[in-house]
């Protein structure tokens, strides 16, 4: 696939696109452009996060003490401050789909336009409270927290917790809890050339020959993903002088492999689309500001 903007032409190829992982190849672009995509994925993608956490204070029902047989009340208390529990809940990924973004993507910064998405959590000790214990009040299964085994707090006997949490649309420019993309990274596409010699045996012993192509007296890996994986394995030969002399690694300044994951709140394809849309809007605003001052 090729994208053209004015005199700028780049080649983009999606190498892998899973639900929560993407790997993309960029050609004929510079470092600054790819880094801008990375920064947009980190901070400019709109998504939902739990923002308003209300704790019920006071009695939360009763229970019979096993030892004494007396009836006692559950206390709304735990070993952690409510602020810490609220922070843990706020960092959980909240499912965000395309329809939600279309409906509320422009509501960032405007509380009057926020969605009415509520969650509840009610647990009585002794137990460990997990993210899966948060339930959407509406009963909509599509809003269930995707990571169900994240521990939130441990409750002892006689302790209980009752929480209502409201989701809010935002982006990571405001707080990291709205960052749905994890560890976006990229590298210049490498090519490995191994010449015949004493050191080549150590190289082939580690990574084999199946990914190499024979070119004259040399063996070459020109697939950038396979070359990158091979280089990671060959780090153990860092102090092997003969192996290093038998291998040449080259790369192009306009050729990159880009990859990222999401935290489960959003599909990787949607996150990439939203990041590019936000980046495009940001650049247009910048260009308009320059034109206005000219």
pLDDT tens readout for residues 23-51: 999 999 999 999 999 999 999 999 999 99
- Phi, psi at 41, each rounded to 5°: -65, -35
**pLDDT above 70: residue 3:** no
Q: Give residue-wise pLDDT tens across range 59-82.
A: 877 777 766 777 788 888 888 999
Nearest to 158 by CA among 70, 35, 72: 72
Length of the chain: 294
Q: Which residues contact 31 (CB under 8 A, 6 or more apart)?
A: 253, 256
Would you identify the CATH topology of the domain 48-178?
A: RNA Polymerase Alpha Subunit; Chain A, domain 2 (2.170.120)
pLDDT band at 8 (very low <50, low <70, confident <90, very high): low
Where are the chain's structural domains? 2-44+182-261, 48-178
- Give pLDDT tens digits for 218-241: 999 999 999 999 999 999 998 989
Q: Which residue has the higher pLDDT, 282 or 48?
A: 48
pTM metric for this prediction = 0.85
Give the whole-angstrom CA distance, residue 8 versus residue 164: 50
For domain 2-44+182-261, give the fold.
Answer: Gyrase A; domain 2 (3.30.1360)
Task: With beta carbons less than 8 A apart as the criterion, state whether 230 and 207 touch.
Answer: yes
Q: How confident is the model at residue 198 (pLDDT cuts 50, 70, 90)?
A: confident
Q: Does the pLDDT of residue 182 top 80, yes or no?
A: yes
Residues 202, 203, 204, 208, CA torsion sign: positive
The first and second tokens of residue 47, run together, are 């998504």
């Amino acid at each position: 696939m090729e994208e053209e903007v004015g005199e700028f032409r780049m080649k983009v190829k999606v190498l892998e696109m899973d639900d929560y992982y993407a790997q993309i190849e960029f050609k004929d672009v510079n470092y600054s452009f790819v880094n801008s995509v990375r920064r947009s994925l980190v901070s400019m993608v709109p998504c939902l996060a739990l923002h308003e956490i209300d704790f019920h204070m006071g009695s939360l029902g009763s229970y019979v003490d096993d030892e004494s047989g007396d009836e006692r009340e559950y206390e709304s208390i735990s070993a952690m401050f409510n602020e810490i529990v609220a922070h843990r809940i706020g960092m959980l990924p909240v499912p965000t789909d395309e329809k939600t973004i279309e409906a509320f993507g422009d509501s960032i910064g405007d509380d009057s336009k926020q969605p009415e998405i509520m969650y509840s959590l009610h647990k009585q000790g002794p137990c460990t409270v997990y993210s899966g214990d948060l339930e959407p009040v509406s009963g909509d299964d599509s809003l269930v927290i995707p990571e169900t085994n994240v521990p939130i707090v441990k409750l002892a006997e006689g302790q209980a917790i009752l929480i209502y949490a409201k989701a809010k649309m935002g982006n990571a420019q405001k707080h990291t809890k709205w960052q749905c993309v994890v560890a976006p990274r990229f590298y210049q596409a490498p090519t490995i050339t191994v010449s015949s010699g004493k050191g080549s045996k150590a190289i082939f012993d580690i990574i084999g020959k199946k990914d190499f192509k024979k070119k004259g007296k040399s063996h070459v890996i020109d697939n950038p993903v396979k070359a990158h994986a091979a280089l990671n394995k060959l780090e153990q030969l860092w102090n092997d002088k003969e192996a290093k002399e038998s291998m040449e690694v080259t790369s192009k300044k306009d050729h990159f492999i880009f990859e990222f994951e999401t935290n489960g709140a959003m599909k990787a394809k949607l996150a990439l689309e939203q990041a590019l849309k936000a980046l495009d809007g940001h650049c247009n605003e910048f260009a308009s500001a320059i034109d206005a001052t000219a």
